[in-house]
Amino acid sequence: MKISKIKISKEETKKVNLKEIDLTKKPLGSTVALVGKNGAGKSRILKFVENYSSSINFDKFNEEHITNLPLSLILPFESDLNQAKGIYESLIKQKISPQQINNSITDQLQRFIRRFSQIAPAYIKVVDNDDLKIIKDKINNNLDFETILKGDFGNIDSKIPNLIENPQAAPLSQLNQFTAINNKTTVNYLKKLSTEIVSYEFNLYLKNRENTAIIIEQMKENESYKLFNNFQKYVKKFLGKDFSYSQTAEGGTVNSILHFNNEPFNVDLLSPGQKMLFAYAILFFYLDTNSKTNIRESIIIIDEPEKHLHPEAQIKLLDALKDIVSKNGQLWIATHSVHILSHLDFDEILMVKDDEIISPSRTTPGNSFNELMGLEEHVMELISFINSISEWAYSNFMVQCFKDPEVIFGTNINDPQFKLFKEFIQNKSDIKLLDFGAGKGRIGYTIGEDETVSERIKYNAYEIDKSNFELLSKVPNLDTLYSTANEIPRNNFDCIILCNVLHEINPDNWIESLNIIKDSLNLNGYLIIIEDRFLPKGETAHEYGYIILGAEETKILLNSKNSIELKLNEANFKERIIFNTFQKNDISPDNESLIKSLQKLKENTFNNIKKLKKEKKDLNQGRRLANETQLYINSQLYLESLNKVKKGES
């Protein structure tokens, strides 16, 4: 679950001496960091974030204030939600007053809104650093943890029917009460787990010594084994170390020894920072084990995560938390740690000054950071780190080019790419569409949100990543989901769409993929290629990074002289969003056209780099310069690889 937008009226915020909160212009990402000096308003803002789910109505839900909702929360009310959206679109056309629309929709969604307001708090985890310090201080060999894991904190499913029938029932806020963990931690419990595991494994061996496969399979089903493995995962995530056990036997008794980084585990040998990170591992193990709400689908809120941690530990903590929520969850922090700031992307930072969220200065970053945080002694360090916002944006983009692509999932029918798609099909009907490389089904879900589009399209999807199948299978009006290219019928589709996909395909596979698409189109079918030319974040999609072709380069690749190119009128998107369509007979890629397209890309990006070098240095210039530089490098790398193959080099 994510808070993608948040708006709190002035009437509400002034009660705690804050100015109006309006973060609705641009969707928030997986990480949101509030930055400001003490007293600026960060903690008060986090309190509004913590309670925001209780204010969600249909308008906010429809405007995607809350996104990435768990399927378990949506599926029971899927019919109600679809009907509500249909009613909403119908009333909008009738020019009914907003209040009447809201009343009608609220009646339709009363059960869903009630369930959401009661269950959503369970997905919001507020971490208290002082509680964590108590855990750290109490980690020793005399404390018990087992009873905590047997508590009733996470038994959400059994409580849901009662909550729906009884609106007065309390929300599940007890899931966020971490104080119960303060005086009961893990070492003895983990020792007991490991001993249970080795004893169970020993007995299995005695019974099945000739069949190790049975031993392996039955071990995987053992509860103690699964719990210990889960804790190992969090130790690795937060400390970057291995936590394990080994079997011992004395006097005919099977026992175990805990190991930390391949050495016998002794908690006294952990540094203060390691103890704090170990406490985080304990906490998240507890949350994961003791809550039916998936921690990876939750919103984690931490005020000053840097407390009690040295700089290196702060970065390890941030990396671990970001990894936990990277796909479907969200991390909100309030910080004034220079070290954490240096590890954040520019668009993850929201400045807080004088009880208001503001944008950071783009011209005097060092002075603005100093003013906001009151950290005089760190000014030179900050100036060194962000000598200019342009350089910072350039550096961050380049760092991201070593990361896997981030999955962006939204269903906004006003998305610029979808607007061009809608324009292209406006005079077409009964369209058999294949979403090639569908991912989680963003295109399908967005089509389902637009009644005028969905009634004309028969949506099909091709996706090889099986981890996306659960979401894809829930796309409204999905006709067929293909998991291999061989399953895709030939001469069948009116349109095949590659939306933000071609740049993630290794160029070695472009010709094969495009020929599969050509064979799958009917005689008058169209291939639609959509890309974001100014990629907002760097990524590593394949061994050559990523390669985005513009309209000119795409025509060269396909050996096509004819195409339909659509552009948006908005200045921000006119050159940014690439939308090209090609008829079946205009798709004829070959090795020569592949090379020529990349040579042209290399030439064009080099010219773009020279132009950008002359422009005013700001955030956008820095990112675009990094993007063009990366495209130039990646195209050159691929062309060189082809030359090596031609020469017979390895």
Whether this model's pTM surpasses 0.85 = no
Top mean pLDDT of 35-44, 293-302, 397-406, 581-590 is at 581-590
Average pLDDT over the chain, rounded to an integer: 77
Q: Which of 274, 300, 334 is the last residue of a domain?
A: 274
Q: What is the CATH number of the domain that holds 598?
A: 3.40.50.150
**Both structure tokens of 560:** 């096509």
Q: How confident is the model at residue 539 (pLDDT cuts 50, 70, 90)?
A: low
Higher pLDDT, 85 or 391: 85
Residue 99 lies in a domain: no
> Does residue 408 sit in helix, strand or coil?
coil
Residue 579 pairs with which residues in a beta bridge?
Answer: 530, 566
117 half-sphere exposure, CB direction, 13 A CA radius: 18
- 82 belongs to a structural domain: no
Pairing relationship of beta strands 564-566 and 521-532 according to DSSP bridges: unpaired
Q: In angstroms, what CA-CA distances link 272 with 20, 265, 269?
A: 40, 15, 9
Question: In which band, very low, low, confident or very high, does the pLDDT at 167 lie, cut at 50, 70 and 90?
Answer: very low
- The answer as to whether 113 is a domain residue is no
Top pLDDT among 187 and 307 is at: 307
Domain boundary among 274, 289, 316: 274
Rg (CA), the chain: 27
Question: Containing domain of residue 640, as a range?
Answer: 416-647
Using one digit for the tens of pLDDT, what is the confidence trace for 325-359? 877 899 999 987 777 877 787 778 888 888 888 75
228-255 pLDDT per residue, tens: 888 889 889 888 889 888 877 766 677 7
Dihedral sign for Cα 62, 66, 68, 71, please.
negative
Whose tokens are 């806020």? That residue is: 173
Q: Which of 29-38, 213-222, 424-433, 439-448 has the lowest mean pLDDT?
A: 213-222
446-465 pLDDT, tens digit per residue, is 888 888 888 899 999 999 98
Residue 160 has pLDDT above 60, yes or no: no
Residue 313 belongs to a domain: no
Q: Is 328 part of any domain?
A: no
Q: If you ran DSSP here, which 8-state letter would residue 293 be given?
A: S
Question: For residue 369, what are its two tokens?
Answer: 């950071």
Could you tell me if residue 290 is inside a domain? no
| Distance from chain centroid for Cα 33 | 15
Within-domain flag for 408: no
Listed in order, strand segments (DSSP E) in 343-487 are 349-353, 356-358, 431-436, 457-462, 478-482
Domain boundary pick from 243, 274, 305:
274
Q: What value, to the nearest 5°, has the Cα angle with vertex 93 and ends 89 and 99? A: 75
Query: Could you give the number of structural domains in the chain?
Result: 2
Cα distance between residue 632 and residue 615, in whole Å: 19
Question: Of all helices (H) and strands (E), which one includes residue 189?
Answer: helix 187-208
Q: Who wins on pLDDT, 342 or 398?
A: 342
Answer whether residue 299 is part of any domain.
no
